[in-house]
Structure formats: C-alpha cells, structure tokens
Amino acid sequence: MDGNQTVTEHEHLKARLTSLTRDLMLIPSTESRPMERQRSFEFLRHHLDETPRLRIEMFERNGHQSLVARPEGCDAPEVLLCGHVDVIEHSEQDCYHSRVVDGRIYGPGSGDMKGQIAIMIELMRSLHRNNRGISVGLAITSDEERGGADGVQFLLDNVGLRCGIAIIPDGGSLADITLAEKGVVHAKLTQRGQEAHGARPWLGENAIERLLPRLIRLMNHFDQYWPDEPIQEQTNHWFPTCSITMIESENSTVNRIPSRASAVMDVRFPPPHRVESILKEITRVVSDDCVLESLMTAEPTDLSPDPLFSQVTGEETGQQVKMVRASGGSDGRFFRKHGIPVNLSRPLVGNLHAIDEWIDIASMVTYYHICHRYIERRLHSKATLNAK
C-alpha cells in the first residue's frame, strides 16, 4: 500500500465517521422521546443490515430498546463493543444538530456518545466484511443516562449476553484508560411539614424550611473529605462527594406553606466506602425524622482493562498511556459483576452534557485504529494459544 492510498483511506474514514456522527446527532434520542430513540435504532440497523453473517437482535425492557449484533452461531463473542444512543434533555428543543469547527463536531450528543457509536458501526462493518465470522459483537442501549438497568444490566442479567472483554468508549480519554470508577448513590430525601396559608406561617410547619438545615448539614459533612489543595481530575479527586441536584415541593401556588419538600442528591465515593455505609452515613447526618429513598446505587468498580489495550493505545497515539480513576460511572460496572473485564477510553471530547459539547474528529480516527489493531491482535493471540 503506497502513501497516497493510505492518505486517501484516512480521509475517507474521517469523512464517514464525521457524516455518520452528524446524522445520528440529528435524532434527539432523549428519555422523553421514545420514538426518536427507536428511530436511532432503525438508522443503525440500516448501516448494519448488509454486513455479512451478522445476526442482529432487538430487545426491550420498560420502553427502552437495545440492539445486539453478533456473528452467526456465536452467542459470546471474544470482544464486545458497547455504547448507548440516549442523550440528555436540553430545554432548547431545536438544539439537536451539529456544526464542524476547527476539526471538532459540536452539538448535543457528539461526545456522549454518538461519535463513538459511529466508530463502533464502522468497526463492525470493516471487521466483519474482511474477516467473516470474526468473534466481535456490538451492544447498543438507550438508557445509560438514567442508570442502565433496562439496557446493559438487562442484557447481562436476563438475556444472558456474555463476551471475553467489553470495549466501552464512554470514559477516560484518548491516552487515558480508566482503571476504576467511583460508586454511586442517587437518593431522594423527603421532609414532611404542616400546610398553612402563606400569610399565617405560625399555623403551619414549613417543610422546605425544615429540609434546608438538613441539606446544609449534609454538605458540611461531605466538605470534610475535600483536600486542601485545588482539585485536579487526574490526581486528587478520589474522595466522596455529594451534589444536591434537585429541590422541590408539591406547591403550585405562592401563598401556601408546603407540607412536603424533597431534594435529590448524587453521591460518588471510592473504596473502602460501600453503598450500605454511604446510606447509613447520610441517614445519620440528616437524622431519621425524614425519609431517605434510594433511587439508584452502584458499588465502586475495578474495570481490569487488558494490558494489550494500553500497549496498542501507546503505539497508535505515540503518547505515554495513563491509567486513571474516574469520578463518574459507566455501564462497565454491569460487566464486572459477571467477571468480564472492560477497556474504557474514548476520543478527545469536551463540554459533555452542554449544548456546545464536542468531539475531536482526528482523535476519532485514531481511536478507530486503536480498537481495530487491538481486536486483531487479541484475537490472533487467542487463536495462537488455542492452536497449541
């Protein structure tokens, strides 16, 4: 292969990944738009249907669809590519589109994670066209942003999906491979009071005013974990945090003392903390005369990435690869419950969950080549071992 052919193939790949990403971003596949999530899957199936000897199955739980593509006759592929089509809600209804500026694709869902889905679709098409029956599968879900229970967890626990290793391009960075993730507790704290007219507060007991001191105590409690020096994402974020993300009451009028108020919190924590110990800690701080409801939980996760993936990443990027610990979570935790290791990294992305979210196009091409080379080398090594 001469240099001109290599450049041409590189540019074609770059153009395909850009076009596919931007087409996917036009579909506002949010939680409130089930028909748009379904349209995303129809779009993906159109790009996979002609891939030779590929079995494509659709699953559904609680209104959330999942797509699983595996080689014919193979229920547990050696490598499984895994991602999600759902994107977060934005108040601006007409924001689900894209623009390309200075080598980046900007817009909701570009980096989380429709750019990565484009990469995985192209990998599946290329690998299966050139290596019929290759032991590589794909799982795309539609509920990762709300916890993953109806997607990856359902596929693993109820459908029985298995693989040798999962590649999830939903964390880390191009040369940063995620080694471990914090645990998660999403919980709702509800405080009761006594309703009354707003002009006569002495006749009631304001649930909001009772709730606020408890939230302040909770925030002060978690502040003790913070280090004295500024937080650096790659070095010293490995401590418990608590973010109050929603506060509400049942009120719909201004002149009423509310009888109920609630707050939702997002707690992240590393070992040795566990879900049970964090819930006990929260209950102790806020006291037991209010109600703590657990919405979603996950224990801290050791992802156990393949050293070969790190080696290939270094070769393709020319950079020193770092093994990092993540403050966020991913669907990787569901694979680890079944003893399946996870490679978690991704192209260069930024401003995630913002309207000006972006993904770097050149790094998409690099990530494609990382995964392509890694898969070929892993499968070759497995074949060599099995032949001995």
pLDDT tens profile 237-249: 899 999 999 999 9
**Residue-by-residue DSSP string for 135-200:** SEEEEEES-GGGTSTTTHHHIIIII----SEEE--SSS-SSEEEEEE-EEEEEEEEEE-B-EETT-
Token output for 164: 């040798």
Q: How confident is the model at residue 167 (pLDDT cuts 50, 70, 90)?
A: very high
pLDDT tens profile 90-117: 988 789 999 999 999 999 999 999 999 9
Q: How would you label 62-74 residue by residue, b for 16+ Cβ within 10 Å and e otherwise?
A: eebbbbbbbbeeb
Same domain for 307 and 275? no
Residue that terminates a domain, selected from 253, 272, 298: 298
Tell me the CATH number at 192.
3.30.70.360
* 151 pLDDT more than 90: yes
Q: How confident is the model at residue 79 (pLDDT cuts 50, 70, 90)?
A: very high
Tell me the CATH number at 177.
3.40.630.10
Range of the domain at 219: 183-298
pLDDT tens profile 325-366: 998 889 999 999 999 999 999 999 999 999 999 999 999 999
Residue that terminates a domain, selected from 298, 320, 354: 298
Q: How confident is the model at residue 5 (pLDDT cuts 50, 70, 90)?
A: low
Compute how many other C-beta atoms are within 10 angstroms of the C-beta atom of residue 196: 17
Same domain for 288 and 381? no
Same domain for 238 and 345? no
Residue that terminates a domain, selected from 251, 266, 298: 298
Number of domains in the chain: 2
Same domain for 256 and 306? no
Instruction: Give the pLDDT score at 333.
Output: 95
pLDDT tens profile 9-58: 889 999 999 999 999 999 999 999 999 999 999 999 999 998 989 999 99
Same domain for 113 and 46? yes
Same domain for 158 and 242? no
Same domain for 50 and 100? yes
* 388 pLDDT more than 60: no
H or E element: which one contains 122?
helix 115-130
pLDDT tens profile 185-234: 999 999 999 999 999 999 999 999 999 999 999 999 999 999 888 877 66
Instruction: Give the pLDDT score at 94.
Output: 86
Same domain for 197 and 332? no
Measure CA of the first residue to CA of the last residue in the chain; give whole Å.
33
Compute how many other C-beta atoms are within 10 angstroms of the C-beta atom of residue 222: 19
pLDDT tens profile 280-314: 999 999 987 899 999 999 999 999 999 999 999 99
Same domain for 267 and 336? no
Same domain for 292 and 331? no
**Residue-by-residue DSSP string for 318-337:** -S--EEEEESS--THHHHHT
Same domain for 165 and 268? no
Same domain for 294 and 309? no
Q: How far apart are CA 158 and CA 25, in angstroms?
A: 30
